[in-house]
Structure 1
Amino acid sequence: MNRRDIIKGTGLLAATTLLGPVNTFAAEKTKKEKPVLRVAHITDVHIAADNNAPERFKRCLEEIKRKKVDFFLNGGDSIMDASYDNVKREQVTDLWRIWDDCMQTVNGYEVHSCIGNHDTWWAAPAKEDPMYGKDYVVKRLKIPARYYSFSRNGWHFIILDGNNEHISLDPAQFTWLEQELNGLAKNTPVLLMSHYPILGITPTLVGGGHSDHKKLKDLFYQHKDKVRICLSGHNHLSDHTMYNDVWYCCNGAMSGFWWGKGDKESAGPGYYLETPPGYALLSLYADGRVENEYIPHGF
């Protein structure tokens, strides 16, 4: 299986199948044009002190910087785990301290993050505790809110929070998303990022997908002139699925098998099932085309 898939948005097939004359023309057009943005998508870092994870993560960030990216999208599960009932305050603060230290490697870069299910400490003594829940994660990730949007170079980016009942957008967030898409000019290219896959093959294999995928799919179809690609992580698997001319890219996991060696189902050292640890590089073009390349990092 090719781990360095390059995929084209707006109706093109994967690069390995660009054989016909129409697709060849489209591929040549992409080669001649420069993207308006180069973006790194990292997800499921699950940073911790063991397995030399901090140094390995830092080396990977240095590798990404050499590829001249404009900014980083971080798909959540930044720390190993704050979500279990037995996790103590000291463990949570230590994990975020390690995260902060690692992110000094990309000091000066924009990092736009979403919240993963393992980032939130629910076992705080009380809901009034300043470390309880999502608000603390928002603070630690230095993001404006649990869901938000921004624009760069003609592209609009929407960061979602699927950490709600049955993995979904809460009603207020869905209304906000509707208004966000309605308010954009026609043909504005949009990239959405959720921690969890919205559509794709990986939810069929291992679960963990948005339960409101039909509702979201219908909304995206109403805005098919805008929505180009949906990024996710959570499942630690590389999966590039197109539906209704929208790419749904689950881009593996920086940590692979949680920085470990793997198990009997791992296809190689550090793999989760058939996917090695890695990250994605995206090239975004002015006309809405997008390339998403998953790159195993080997650290």
Structure 2
Amino acid sequence: MKNKISRRNLLHVLGLGAFSTSMLPLSCAAPNQADEKKQSPVLRFAYLTDMHIKPGLGAEEGVKNCINHILSKEEPVDFFVNGGDLIMDALDKNEEETEAQWAVWREIRATFPELKFYHCIGNHDVWGRTPQEEKFPGKAWVMKEHGMDSPYYSFESNGWHFIVLDSTHQKEDGSWYTAKLDMAQREWLEDTLKKIPSDKPIFIISHIPILGATPFLDGDNAKTGNWIVPGAWMHTDAKSLINLFFQHKNVKACISGHIHLVESLVYQNVHYHCSGAVSGNWWDDAPYEQTNKGYGLIELFEDGSHNFKYVEYASAI
């Protein structure tokens, strides 16, 4: 595989120390997972979600250490995916406070200029004071930072088709936010799926889980005697999306963040992964609900199967 991203071809990041790691293989026995002994991956990427960057938290050093941990691996990655909530929070911040958060990210990117990133928008990336005449109110700033023409898009790499969704939208009463696709995005998704050849495997990326168990367990959601999962924690259009994916058997996996917890489940032969958080417990040293700081490492194979691992890293040297 050509143009792999590793420490070997990024000499400017050498000498920043060693890291310890714990690798947690997930859903290895589930259907559609690759047999690592029989085939080599055609693609490998790192999924960094919920970095929650802001000045003064140690977040800049932590994210740099995370990236260096990935680059130190013997098996390099082809690209990186930012799963959203890259900055700590923009919604209720003024322009100066929001700019300070994005400035930290720009410094991190300047340290690793050769890395290829694909970006997904998270709820905390949205600046609520964007002028309403903007085409994408609230999301114009984050889109400019990432060079995005649309908050949702697709791309192809090494025989796989990737679809990046925009999960966060205003509620009907105008308040922020609920997890779903708006009508225009849903129509775009249906059209995109129809155009992808049936033999080309599809990997879907969203900030908020489309389907998961972790939204049930993040908080005391059964205190009333019934399970009550907030619409901001899992897609409210999950059933409709699941039915759509059922019509397209080449949809193989969906990955998300948002919850800061790790899981893998399989439903109707589609794998749904929630990939923890680079920031862990928002940069606190203690784990969040027994989940430590980490990132997802995904290997994709020619036959449409894949492997997913959540890799813990040391946020400080």
Instruction: Encode CA deviations 1:101-121: one digit per residue, 9 max, x unaligned.
Output: 112233222200111000011
Q: Which residue of 2 aligns with 1:92?
A: 98
Who is 1:118 aligned against? Answer: 124
Q: 1:147 to 1:9 in 2, by over 3 A?
A: farther
Say which of 189, 193, 218 aligns to 2:201. Answer: 189
Q: How many residues align?
A: 272
Q: What secondary structure is seen at the aligned counterpart in 2 of 1:241?
A: strand
Query: Partners in 2 of 1:92 and 1:132 — Cα distance?
Result: 15
Name the CA distance, whole Å, in 1 between partners of 2:145 and 2:42. 30
After TM superposition, the structure 1 = structure 2 runs for residues 133-152 of structure 1, keeping only pairs within 5 Å, are 133-152=138-157
User: C-alpha distance in 1, partners of 2:259/2:23?
Assistant: 16
1:130 to partner: Cα distance: 10
Mapped contact 1:73–1:112 kept (Cα < 8 A):
yes
Kindly indicate whether residue 69 of structure 2 is the aligned counterpart of residue 52 of structure 1.
no
Structure 1 CA distance for aligned equivalents of residues 100 and 115 of structure 2 = 23
- Change in Cα spacing, 1:218 to 1:296, as seen in structure 2 (3 Å) is same
| Unmatched tracts of structure 2, length 5 or more | 1-21, 172-177, 219-228
- The answer for the alignment partner of 2:246 in structure 1 is 221
Aligned to 2:40: 34
User: What amino acid maps onto 1:92 in structure 2?
Assistant: T
Instruction: Tell me what 1:22 maps to.
Output: none
Which residue matches 2:260? Answer: 236
Q: 1-side partners of 2:124 and 2:97: how far apart? A: 13
Which of 237, 254, 276 in structure 1 is aligned with 2:292?
276
Q: Determine if contact 2:121/2:142 at 8 Å carries over to the other structure.
A: yes
**Corresponding position of 1:167:** 179
- Counterpart of 1:156 (choices 161, 167, 176) is 161
Aligned mates of 1:152, 1:56 — CA distance in 2: 29
Please say if residues 10 and 246 of structure 1, whose CA atoms lie closer than 8 Å, have aligned partners that are also in contact: no
Letter in 2 for 1:170: D
Q: Partner of 2:314 in structure 1?
A: 298
Q: 1:65-90: CA deviations, max 9, x gaps?
A: 22311001110000000012xx1110
Give the whole-Å Cα distance in 1 for the aligned partners of 2:96 and 2:297: 35
Instruction: Name whichever of 88-97 and 48-57 sits farther off.
Output: 48-57
Structure 2 CA distance for aligned equivalents of residues 65 and 157 of structure 1: 23
Q: CA deviation at 1:246?
A: 0.8
CA contact (8 A) 1:76 1:113 kept: yes
| Segment of structure 1 superposing worse, 288-297 or 205-214 | 205-214
What code does the residue aligned with 1:34 have? S
| Alignment of 1:7 onto 2:23 | no
Q: Distance in 2 between matches of 1:9 and 1:286?
A: 19
Separation of aligned partners in 1, 2:27 and 2:263: 11
With normalisation by structure 1, the TM-score equals 0.86
TM-score, normalization: structure 2? 0.81
The structure with more helix, counted as a fraction of residues: 1
- Whether the aligned pair in 1 keeps the contact of 2:265 and 2:273 (CA below 8 Å) is yes
Equivalent residue number for residue 287 of structure 1 = 303
What is the CA RMSD across the aligned residues, in angstroms?
A: 2.0
Identity %: 41
1:240-275 residue CA offsets vs partner (Å, 9 max, x unmatched): 1111111100000000011013xxxxxxx2x11121
Q: Residue 59 of structure 1: CA displacement?
A: 1.3
DSSP-derived class of the 1:5 partner: strand
2:282 equivalent to 1:258? yes
Instruction: Give the Cα–Cα distance (whole angstroms) in 2 for the partners of residues 292 and 169 of structure 1.
Output: 25
> Residue 53 of structure 1: CA displacement?
1.3
Distance 1:180 1:188 in 2: 13
CA distance in 1, matches of 2:281, 2:53: 12
Distance 2:282 2:56 in 1: 10
Please give the alpha-carbon distance, in whole angstroms, between the structure 1 residues aligned to 2:90 and 2:212: 27
Task: Quote the residue 1:17 is aligned against.
Answer: none
Distance 2:281 2:134 in 1: 32
Matched residue type, 2:267: Y
Question: Which consecutive unaligned segments of at least 5 residues does structure 1 have?
Answer: 14-25, 262-268
8 Å contact kept, 1:114–1:159: yes
Residue equivalent to 1:265: none
